[in-house]
């Protein structure tokens, strides 16, 4: 009997609907207000989280606001190109100083016009003579800093001054992404969708390749339910992280695939999401189609052509090797950031609660690529928020994924439903995430 309806707290007596075993996730973890409140209190203020991409703030004075639950953090590029993060609140009467993104020489409060330098020191108090001097001590009216660090071409923040260093927290998953060159990737496009689903439920849809057969039939190349469930291996790590990747012996370079099948799959990926495989890659592959004899294995020739093209175009490609097994796979960085690398490209997802409601989330998708040296794109901006069924803005692959997520959230509420029953092979990353979550919630 799955212990999914069991609201008993964990051993420490703090976590309701705690994980009891790795195969069952109590449904309340996806909608219960008290569980959500505990995440808000014990997870988000203590964890490193991806606040923005570096190319969102390329120049001194560039700032972006990062919101998580009821907290707002301002990330600011400094005059010396370093980065600082501040709580986005006025020390006078609490007005949020900045909304969205912008560029400024000074941060100015929109209410009474107090001002701050980019480093957070106060530079102006209007009518200062009307305040008691003790109210305006410089250290008290500077902006309060939040911890900040960078990795993977992103800025990460942590509200906990005692948290361990970022790299330690992202270990060991980040090293797998280093091997595929995520540091060199920049935004190709960036969009978001608001989903009527819990933030964890939404990201779990990308933790496994198990759903491909039914959700994305076009990716099985006609195999249907004969499509093997074990083409990828799923690994779970400490700290809640996980990945799936090609099994040894099925990675690019050794898998025997015809040119037709390889090109068809590349085209379906490009047309279906304009991510992971881009038009540029498809052109390279199609360019060698007639140069590879039918007896020859096509993928190694295609990948060799891609490397040759990248060399000529001065596009830094990841070094060939073990890391390339991640092409077509996924890496999850606890608590809410995922990457799906391929060639010199990647998809990246960030999922956050929305409107302080456990049943809504804000889901952002980046298509990343590596640009030729010296041709970096300009400042990255969110293109907009688009509905789940907006076929102009979402390719068929993300629409297929999103359609199931909201149905799942509805299904959770069925009176008959007792909680998920996970595969030991394909879905262990889900419980691994929940187990790490309980470590935070139980503290």
Query: Which residues contribute to the site for ligand FES (CB under 6 A)?
Result: 90, 92-93, 95, 109, 111-112, 114
Q: CB-based contacts of 437: which residues, under 8 Å, 6+ apart?
A: 39, 43, 200, 240, 335
- Separation of alpha carbons 166 and 171, rounded Å: 9
Partner whose footprint covers residue 106, from Fe ion, ligand FES, none (CB < 5 to 8 Å by kind): none
Supply the minimum distance, in Å, between the C-beta of residue 397 and Fe ion: 6
Q: Return the range that interacts with Fe ion (CB under 5 A); candidates 11-19, 186-194, 311-319, 397-405.
A: 397-405
Tokens standing for residue 385: 């928020």
C-beta closer to Fe ion: residue 26 or 328 = 328
Supply the minimum distance, in Å, between the C-beta of residue 95 and ligand FES: 4
Supply the minimum distance, in Å, between the C-beta of residue 142 and ligand FES: 13
- What b/e string do you get for 408-430 counting C-beta neighbours within 10 Å, with b at 16 or more? bbeebeeeeeebbebeeebbbbb
Supply the minimum distance, in Å, between the C-beta of residue 31 and Fe ion: 23
Partner whose footprint covers residue 112, from ligand FES, Fe ion, none (CB < 5 to 8 Å by kind): ligand FES
C-beta closer to ligand FES: residue 98 or 185 = 98
Choose among 71, 106, 101: nearest CA to 87.
71
Evaluate whether 25 touches 434 at the Cβ level (below 8 Å). Answer: yes
C-beta closer to ligand FES: residue 132 or 291 = 132
Q: Rule CB under 5 A: say whether 330 interacts with Fe ion.
A: no
C-beta closer to Fe ion: residue 65 or 401 = 401
Helix, strand, or coil (residue 240) = helix
Partner whose footprint covers residue 401, from Fe ion, ligand FES, none (CB < 5 to 8 Å by kind): Fe ion
Q: Give the containing element (helix H, strand E) for 243.
A: strand 242-246
Helix, strand, or coil (residue 416) = coil
- Separation of alpha carbons 375 and 186, rounded Å: 11
- Separation of alpha carbons 180 and 170, rounded Å: 16
Report helix angle 396-411 to 259-273, nearest 10: 70
Supply the minimum distance, in Å, between the C-beta of residue 115 and ligand FES: 9
Partner whose footprint covers residue 114, from Fe ion, ligand FES, none (CB < 5 to 8 Å by kind): ligand FES
- Separation of alpha carbons 121 and 128, rounded Å: 16
293: number of Cβ within 10 Å = 9
Q: Return the range that interacts with Fe ion (CB under 5 A); candidates 4-12, 168-176, 388-396, 398-406.
A: 398-406
234: number of Cβ within 10 Å = 23
- Separation of alpha carbons 25 and 29, rounded Å: 8
- Phi, psi (deg, nearest 5) at residue 368: -110, 150
C-beta closer to Fe ion: residue 269 or 306 = 269
Supply the minimum distance, in Å, between the C-beta of residue 112 and ligand FES: 3
Evaluate whether 57 touches 79 at the Cβ level (below 8 Å). Answer: no
Q: Rule CB under 5 A: say whether 401 interacts with Fe ion.
A: yes
C-beta closer to Fe ion: residue 122 or 400 = 400
C-beta closer to Fe ion: residue 96 or 218 = 218
Q: Rule CB under 5 A: say whether 436 interacts with Fe ion.
A: no
Supply the minimum distance, in Å, between the C-beta of residue 129 and ligand FES: 15
Q: Can you tell me which residue has the tokens 């060199």?
A: 184
C-beta closer to ligand FES: residue 89 or 388 = 89
Supply the minimum distance, in Å, between the C-beta of residue 74 and ligand FES: 14
Partner whose footprint covers residue 95, from ligand FES, Fe ion, none (CB < 5 to 8 Å by kind): ligand FES
Tokens standing for residue 171: 């270990």
Partner whose footprint covers residue 109, from Fe ion, ligand FES, none (CB < 5 to 8 Å by kind): ligand FES
C-beta closer to ligand FES: residue 92 or 265 = 92
Tokens standing for residue 161: 């001054």
The number of residues that bind Fe ion (CB under 5 A) is 1
Q: Return the range that interacts with Fe ion (CB under 5 A); candidates 342-350, 354-362, 366-374, 400-408.
A: 400-408
Q: Can you tell me which residue has the tokens 């071409």?
A: 153
- Separation of alpha carbons 335 and 321, rounded Å: 28
Q: Can you tell me which residue has the tokens 């109590």?
A: 26
Q: Give the containing element (helix H, strand E) for 434.
A: helix 428-441
Burial of 115 (0-12, 13-18, 19+ CB in 10 A): middle
The residue nearest Fe ion at its CB is: 401
C-beta closer to Fe ion: residue 186 or 399 = 399
Binding mask 205-234 for Fe ion (x = CB under 5 A): ------------------------------
Supply the minimum distance, in Å, between the C-beta of residue 273 and Fe ion: 10
Supply the minimum distance, in Å, between the C-beta of residue 349 and ligand FES: 35
Residues near Fe ion (CB under 5 A) are: 401
């Amino acid at each position: 009997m799955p212990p999914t309806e069991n609201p008993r707290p964990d051993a420490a007596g703090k976590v309701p609907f705690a994980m009891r075993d790795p195969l069952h996730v109590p449904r309340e973890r996806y909608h219960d207000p008290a569980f959500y409140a505990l995440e808000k209190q014990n997870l988000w203020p203590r964890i490193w989280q991806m606040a923005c991409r570096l190319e969102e703030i390329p120049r001194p004075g560039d700032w972006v606001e990062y919101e998580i639950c009821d907290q707002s953090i301002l990330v600011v590029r400094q005059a010396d190109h370093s980065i600082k993060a501040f709580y986005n609140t006025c020390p006078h009467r609490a007005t949020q100083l900045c909304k969205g993104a912008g560029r400024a020489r000074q941060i100015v409060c929109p209410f009474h016009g107090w001002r701050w330098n980019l480093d957070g020191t106060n530079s102006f108090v209007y009518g200062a003579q009307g305040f008691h001097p003790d109210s305006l001590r410089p250290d008290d009216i500077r902006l309060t800093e939040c911890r900040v660090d960078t990795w993977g071409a992103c800025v990460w923040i942590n509200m906990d001054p005692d948290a361990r260093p970022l790299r330690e927290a992202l270990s060991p998953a980040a090293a797998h992404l280093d091997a595929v060159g995520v540091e060199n990737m920049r935004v190709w496009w960036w969009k978001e969708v608001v989903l009527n689903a819990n933030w964890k439920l939404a990201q779990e849809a990308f933790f496994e390749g198990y759903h491909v057969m039914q959700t994305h039939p076009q990716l099985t190349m006609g195999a249907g339910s004969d499509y093997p469930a074990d083409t990828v291996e799923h690994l779970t790590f400490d700290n809640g992280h996980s990945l799936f990747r090609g099994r040894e012996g099925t990675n690019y370079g050794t898998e025997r695939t015809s040119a037709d099948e390889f090109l068809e799959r590349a085209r379906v990926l490009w047309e279906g999401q304009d991510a992971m495989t881009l038009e540029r890659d498809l052109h390279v592959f199609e360019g060698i189609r007639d140069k590879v004899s039918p007896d020859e294995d096509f993928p190694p020739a295609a990948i060799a052509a891609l490397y040759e093209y990248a060399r000529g175009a001065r596009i830094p490609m990841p070094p060939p090797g073990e890391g390339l097994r991640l092409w077509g796979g996924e890496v999850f960085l606890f608590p809410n950031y995922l990457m799906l690398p391929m060639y010199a490209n990647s998809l990246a997802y960030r999922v956050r609660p929305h409107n302080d409601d456990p049943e809504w989330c804000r889901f952002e998708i980046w298509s990343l690529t590596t640009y030729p040296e010296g041709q970096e794109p300009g400042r990255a901006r969110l293109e907009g928020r688009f509905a789940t069924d907006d076929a102009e803005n979402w390719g068929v692959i993300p629409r297929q994924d999103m359609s199931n997520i909201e149905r799942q959230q509805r299904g959770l509420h069925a009176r008959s439903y007792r909680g998920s029953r996970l595969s030991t092979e394909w879905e262990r990353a889900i419980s691994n995430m929940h187990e790490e979550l309980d470590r935070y919630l139980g503290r």
